[in-house]
Each structure stands twice: as C-alpha cells, then as structure tokens.
Amino acid sequence: MSHEPEPIVIDVDTGIDDALALLYACAAPAAEILGVSTVVGNVDLNAATRNTRAVLALAGRGDIPVWPGAASPLSSASADARHVHGESGLGHAVLPEPPEPASRTHAVDAIVAAAHAHAGRLILVATGPLTNVALAVMREPELPSLVKRFVIMGGAYAESGNVTPSAEFNIWHDPEAARIVFRAFGGVGGASMVAVGLDVTRKMTFDEKDVAAFAASAAGKPKGAALTRFIEDASRFYFERMEASQGRRHLVMHDPLAVAVALDPTLVETRRAAVDVETSGRLTTGATIADWRGQWGRLANTEVAVSVDAERARKMFFEAMLRLAEGRSR
Ligand code: BDR
Ligand code: CA
C-alpha cells in the first residue's frame, strides 16, 4: 500500500451503507477524494445527490464536488430500495440541508476527466448500480486502461442474491449497464474489475452493541454527538428492516467494505474469472455468472473477492469513525 494519498472517485446511490462508505472514505488517510458521483438506485437521483452532499457536510468535507449522473437505468424499469434504506434513503436520520450545491458537471464527464487527469493512478469505486460507469466506458473506451483500480460493490458469485434468488441489487437494478462494464474491463492493458459481492459483504456486519461501543468512545469528541446520532438513527432503520425480514438486528456493511478494499486490497482474497451478467433470464435477470472453469474460453475480466478479513475491516471502519468524531477528516 502506498503512503501517498491516492486519487479516488466514488460513485454512489446514497443509501445508508453508501453514507457509511462515504464517511469511511472521508476519514481514510490513504484517500484523496476528487469527487463523488451519484446515480439512481436505492433512491432517485435527486435524493441520492442530496444525501451525498449532506453526508459529506457531516464529515466536514462539504468542499468535495458532488457530480449528479444517471437518473434512470439504461433500459429496464427498476424498483428502488427504499424498503431497506427508508423514504429519504438515510433511515431515521435527518441531516441539515447541505450548504454546498451539487456540481453542474455531469458524473460521466467528471469520471472521464478524472481518469485522464490521473491516468494510471485513479481509483474508481462504485457502490451503486453501474449506469454511470457504463456511460463512461461508452464515452471513453480507454477508461479500463486509464484507471489503476476499479472496485465495485456488486454481484453474488457463490452466494444467493438479495433481490431475487440469484441477483444482487446493484447489478439487478441495471443489468445492461453492468454487462457493458464487465465486458469493458480486463482486456489487454486494461485493469480488471475487483468485485466485492455478497459473498464477502455478508460477512461484515455490525449491530447495536457495536454502535453503543462507538457512541461511548466518541462521547465528548468535537463531532462525536452529530456523528453518533447519524450512525444510530440511520442504522436503527436498517436493523428494524433486517429484523422484520431475517429475524436479526444487524447491518451489512456492503458499501464500506468496497471502499475499504479499494484503499487496501489486502482485506480480501480474490479469484480471477471471466464474469458476465444475465440480462434476459426468465428467473435470473441480474445474476453475475463467474466462469470458474474457463468453459467460455474468454479472458478473465474480474478479481472476485472470495474471502475477507472482516474483523480487521470492521475495526478499521470504527477507527475511521472515531477520527471523524475527533474532527479529523483524514
Ligand atoms: C447494495 O444494494 C444497496 O441497497 C446497498 O447500498 C448496496 O450497495 C447491496 O446489495
Ligand atoms: Ca449502494
């Protein structure tokens, strides 16, 4: 891992776990956040953009540009995930109206410009549907050779899905976009994608005891009260939804893990494979299919995360939250 902060662009559909991922990135010394692009997914584009700006302001990083992107998936009509993230997208949390306006630059222009400006160095992370990234690779086919690393939270490889038995939400929400993106990466001279899917994210959870321990450690710190309140209120909604659907009050840290892996790939072990996306299945639309045995005869395009040091990742997350509580955004 380099000690110089690395330039990073994060593409989000802010949601509860996207919000936690953004807070993590703001506190990570390894990250120089160039900007955050937003996409429809958990909530509509306006809500995702507003939530992103509000969360960055909470972290003391309202200066980071927020670039609105795609307001609808490429072709399929998709449902949002407000049943998991709440009407606003941030559960029971209520954040003040952010002072900084969204940027007037479109997400796709911003991603392509950042890739050129930081050619060979840019880390791109997507924690929402892949619509913006698909549009970016259609605009700039060289994108895979311009980025140093591209990490997604997306897919279910040996695990079952979370929207359907075979599909994970971010891929299912815009399977055509996901297919374009998987097919674009991993070619000769191009970066592979690193896929942080449900296989590993389901292993990284926190519960009310973790939140209480964080609250105790953050008490009395300059930003401790505001941050604790946000984490408590956002996660309580998620706990309620998980209890109703699965009988267990916990939060799965899908998106924070993807950002953590983008900054420290040693958190996961990966296995290379050609991966493609089912776009027209009767039962399986949005499924990510990994060709583990090379039966397609295609080049591998993806480093699929197959195991994770969840303890280390969770510890890093709460240490980062404590730095934010102390008023240190990186
Ligand atoms: C993914 O779906 C969204 O609801 C979460 O924010 C996460 O990115 C998990 O399947
Ligand atoms: Ca997300």
At 4-59, the pLDDT tens digits run 899 999 999 999 999 999 999 999 988 999 999 999 999 999 999 999 999 999 99
Confidence of residue 78 (pLDDT cuts 50, 70, 90): confident
**99 C-beta neighbours (distance < 10 Å), count:** 9
Question: For residue range 80-101, what is the model confidence (pLDDT) as tens digits?
Answer: 999 999 999 999 999 999 988 9
Pocket of ligand 1 (CB under 6 A): 15, 17-18, 42, 81, 84, 127, 153, 162, 168-170, 254-255
Mutate to test the pocket of ligand 1, among 24, 42, 157, 235 (most ligand atoms within 8 A of CB): 42
260 contact partners, CB below 8 Å, separation of at least 6? 24, 267, 313, 316, 317
pLDDT reported for residue 191 = 84
For residue 258, which atom of ligand 1 is closest to its CA? 8
Residue 6 lies in a domain: no
Confidence of residue 186 (pLDDT cuts 50, 70, 90): confident
Residue 246 lies in a domain: yes
In the reported structure, the alpha carbon of residue 68 is separated from the centroid of ligand 2 by a whole-number distance in angstroms of: 15
Catalytic residues: 254
Residue 8 lies in a domain: no
Question: For residue range 151-185, what is the model confidence (pLDDT) as tens digits?
Answer: 999 999 999 999 999 999 999 999 999 999 999 99
157 contact partners, CB below 8 Å, separation of at least 6? 195, 197, 199, 275, 288, 290, 304, 306
Domain range holding 66? 14-325
Q: Do β-strands 66-68 and 31-38 pair in parallel, antiparallel, or remain unpaired?
A: parallel
Residue 330 lies in a domain: no
In the chain, the number of structural domains is: 1
Confidence of residue 104 (pLDDT cuts 50, 70, 90): very high
User: In the chain, pLDDT over 70 holds for what percent of residues?
Assistant: 99
177 contact partners, CB below 8 Å, separation of at least 6? 73, 74, 129, 130, 131, 133, 134, 135
For atom 2 of ligand 1, the residue with the nearest CA is 169
pLDDT reported for residue 1 = 47
For residues 146 and 120, is the Cβ–Cβ distance under 8 A? yes
Mutate to test the pocket of ligand 1, among 10, 17, 261, 288 (most ligand atoms within 8 A of CB): 17
Q: For the domain that residue 164 is a member of, what is the CATH number?
A: 3.90.245.10
Residue 177 lies in a domain: yes
pTM for the predicted model, two decimal places: 0.97
In the reported structure, the alpha carbon of residue 148 is separated from the centroid of ligand 1 by a whole-number distance in angstroms of: 24
For residue 163, which atom of ligand 1 is closest to its CA? 10
